[in-house]
Amino acid sequence: MEEKLQFIDPHVHMSSRTTDDYEAMAQAGVVAVIEPSFWMGQPRTQVGSFQDYFSSLVGWEPFRASQFGIKHYCTIGLNSKEANNEALAEQVMDLLPLYLHKENVVAVGEIGYDDQTPAEDKYFRQQLELAKEFEMLVQVHTPHRDKKAGTIKSMEVCLEHGLDPSMVVIDHNNEETVQEVLDRGFIAAFTIYPKTKMGNERMVEVVKRFGSTNIIVDSSADWGVSDPLAVPKTASLMIRSGVAKEDVVKTCYQNALDVFGKSGKMKAEHWNGSKGVDQRQLFNDNSVLRGQEPKVDNDKIV
């Protein structure tokens, strides 16, 4: 029987997703996720909204994921869109150091440019300095408009601030940007969007053409039209399209673990050899159940 592959989705906004998504992801082989802090759709008006959101990413959401057998990590940062509210951005910057040390925070992110405004530039640079100070990885969101120039600028600014490119994941790549990212020694992540931008078929072609070194697949699933199963679905399409299993494992699991594992906080032993799910557990007296029989895997040995 074919051994079941394990997957990591290193960019997925689980707070916006349902428990059905967690169940489907676990079923499909997703063992770990990284949830970048980002924009919520509704612009925040108070620093307290950021604080509670960051607290949720290091508290409630890892608990919720654990109830479905998935290990949850996150990245903490001021997103590019909200960097444009400078009065609020200043207060958020003061909050960040309180969260970067938390045990599931594997990088500063997702940070970078949206409209490439002066305010976005200012807070991107400040957060790169923060990453250096904390010796952390950086997860960069590249703009969807003016993508190529924005991607190149993001990398140049990282280099200008003295970051090691192998500690920086540049996300939302496409065929136009990947070569430059790899040539400069950065890690190239690809967000698979259903029916638009980077689709699964295009991703298969990218791996065939550019190989699997320093390339990572993610779903970036959030509150918009997106697919939390993008990583396992792309992996299965790769296998069917003749991509070597070794390249599938690298792009859909191992590379993400190798890169984010440099944080010292993300380890395969967190999911391999875990005791499994115990839905009798509570977080601040809250359970994910609504009267269902709790699922308990306490007989699991490895």
List of residues 6+ apart from 148 with CB closer than 8 A: 176, 177, 180
Q: List the one residue from 7, 22, 38, 68 that touches Zn ion (CB under 5 A).
A: 38
- Smaller CB distance to Zn ion: residue 69 or 109? 109
The site string for Zn ion over 184-223 (x = CB under 5 A, - otherwise) reads ------------------------------------x---
What tokens were used for 179? 């070569």
Residue 94, CA atoms < 13 Å, CB-side half-sphere: 7
- Smaller CB distance to Zn ion: residue 248 or 256? 256
CB of 209 to Zn ion, least distance (A): 25
**Total residues contacting Zn ion (rule CB under 5 A)?**
2
- Smaller CB distance to Zn ion: residue 200 or 226? 226
Number of Cβ within 10 Å of residue 82's Cβ equals 20
Residue 177 amino acid letter: T
- Smaller CB distance to Zn ion: residue 22 or 38? 38
User: Counting contacts by CB under 5 A, is residue 54 touching Zn ion?
Assistant: no
| 8 A C-beta contact, residue 249 and residue 219 | no
- Smaller CB distance to Zn ion: residue 38 or 68? 38
CB of 280 to Zn ion, least distance (A): 33
CB of 242 to Zn ion, least distance (A): 30
What tokens were used for 1? 């029987």
Continuous segment of H or E residues that includes residue 15: none
Alpha carbons 229 and 29: distance in angstroms, whole number: 10
Q: Cα dihedral sign for 152, 202, 257, 254?
A: negative
User: Counting contacts by CB under 5 A, is residue 50 touching Zn ion?
Assistant: no
Q: What does the binding site for Zn ion look like in residue numbers (CB under 5 A)? A: 38, 220
